[in-house]
């Protein structure tokens, strides 16, 4: 595992729990709006935090923190993620995994361990527009498989989409809804210009409140619980 960042306390990363968040280094996608170049662009990688430092922190927070969120980057890029999560579970923590679903075999194996309590999966776009957001081709089958695995896993989960104009617009939500039809919970995350961005040359904008509400209404045709973040 390569951990490039640690947020020591969060009330929002794991639903209903006081959590710390670990950020893994490395991601095969190149989303224009990504605000973590130090986890995504090899030349800008953060210096990894030694695992002993991470586990000594986790040990010291037993009884104070309830959960650990493993985010990225893309955590499932790391083949030893399963054993890493097991060590965290052995300390008594609830574990949440953030993923964008590019490695469905690893998602499947991780779900089967029973060590993960909650998964948040990014839905980047309607499936036929994925490559225009992530700058990588031929991911469609993997993404669809991860969605199906999650929806049939019995594990609590959410899907979520970051929306930045002009990459996505209200017109894209029918396609997103079709992709996750029948899902439990979906969040629309409006773009907020970050201090750093993987592609700083591209000019992006948030959706208006009216556009967000239109997107929410469309998604209600496909998913029971739809919220705006
Ligand atoms: S926003 Fe995109 S590029 Fe950044 S970590 Fe997530 S999937 Fe990777």
The reply to whether ligand 1 has any atom less than 6 angstroms from the CB of 133 is: no
The reply to whether ligand 1 has any atom less than 6 angstroms from the CB of 5 is: no
Q: How many angstroms separate the alpha carbon of residue 29 from the centre of ligand 1? A: 6
- Work out the average pLDDT over 140-157: 97
Average pLDDT of every residue of the chain: 96
- Work out the average pLDDT over 154-176: 97
Do 142 and 101 touch, CB atoms closer than 8 A?
yes
Is residue 197 over pLDDT 90?
no
Distance between CA atoms of residues 63 and 95, nearest Å: 15
Q: How many angstroms separate the alpha carbon of residue 26 from the centre of ligand 1? A: 9
CATH number assigned to the domain covering 3-228: 3.20.20.70
What is 90-120 written as a DSSP string? HTT-EEEEEE--S-HHHHHHHHHHT---EEE
Distance between CA atoms of residues 69 and 21, nearest Å: 5
Give the percent of the chain with pLDDT over 70.
100
**pLDDT tens-digit profile of 90-132?**
999 999 999 999 999 999 999 999 999 999 999 999 999 999 9
Atom of ligand 1 nearest to the CA of 33: 1
Is residue 88 over pLDDT 90?
yes
Q: How many angstroms separate the alpha carbon of residue 31 from the centre of ligand 1? A: 6
Q: Band the pLDDT of 31: cuts 50, 70, 90.
A: very high
Sheet order of strands, 3-10 included: 3-10, 19-24, 67-71, 94-99, 118-122, 156-163, 185-190, 225-228
The reply to whether ligand 1 has any atom less than 6 angstroms from the CB of 30 is: yes
Taking CA atoms only, the protein residue closest to ligand 1 atom 6 is: 73
Is residue 214 over pLDDT 90?
yes
pTM over 0.85: yes
Phi, psi (deg, nearest 5) at residue 42? -50, -40
- What is the per-residue pLDDT for 199? 85
**Residue from 42, 70, 74 to probe ligand 1 pocket by mutation (most atoms less than 8 Å from CB):** 74
Q: How many angstroms separate the alpha carbon of residue 60 from the centre of ligand 1? A: 30
Domain ranges of the chain: 3-228
Q: Band the pLDDT of 53: cuts 50, 70, 90.
A: very high
- What is the per-residue pLDDT for 119? 98
């Amino acid at each position: 595992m390569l951990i490039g960042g640690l947020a020591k306390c969060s009330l929002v990363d794991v639903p209903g729990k006081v959590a710390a968040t670990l950020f893994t280094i490395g991601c095969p996608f190149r989303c224009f709006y990504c605000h973590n170049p130090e986890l995504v662009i090899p030349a800008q990688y953060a210096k990894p935090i030694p695992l002993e430092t991470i586990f000594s922190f986790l040990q010291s927070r037993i009884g104070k923190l309830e959960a650990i969120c493993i985010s990225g980057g893309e955590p499932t890029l790391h083949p030893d993620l399963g054993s890493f999560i097991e060590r965290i579970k052995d300390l008594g923590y609830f574990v949440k995994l953030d993923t964008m679903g590019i490695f469905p075999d690893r998602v499947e194996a991780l779900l089967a361990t029973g060590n993960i309590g909650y998964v948040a999966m990014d839905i980047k776009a309607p499936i036929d527009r994925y490559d225009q957001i992530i700058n990588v081709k031929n991911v469609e089958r993997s993404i669809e498989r991860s969605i199906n695995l999650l929806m049939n896993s019995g594990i609590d989960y959410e899907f979520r989409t970051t929306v930045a104009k002009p990459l996505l617009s209200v017109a894209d939500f029918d396609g997103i809804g079709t992709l996750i039809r029948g899902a439990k919970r979906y969040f629309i995350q409006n773009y907020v210009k970050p201090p750093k961005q993987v592609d700083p040359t591209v000019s992006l904008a948030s959706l208006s409140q009216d556009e967000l509400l239109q997107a929410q209404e469309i998604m209600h045709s496909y998913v029971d619980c739809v919220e705006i973040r």
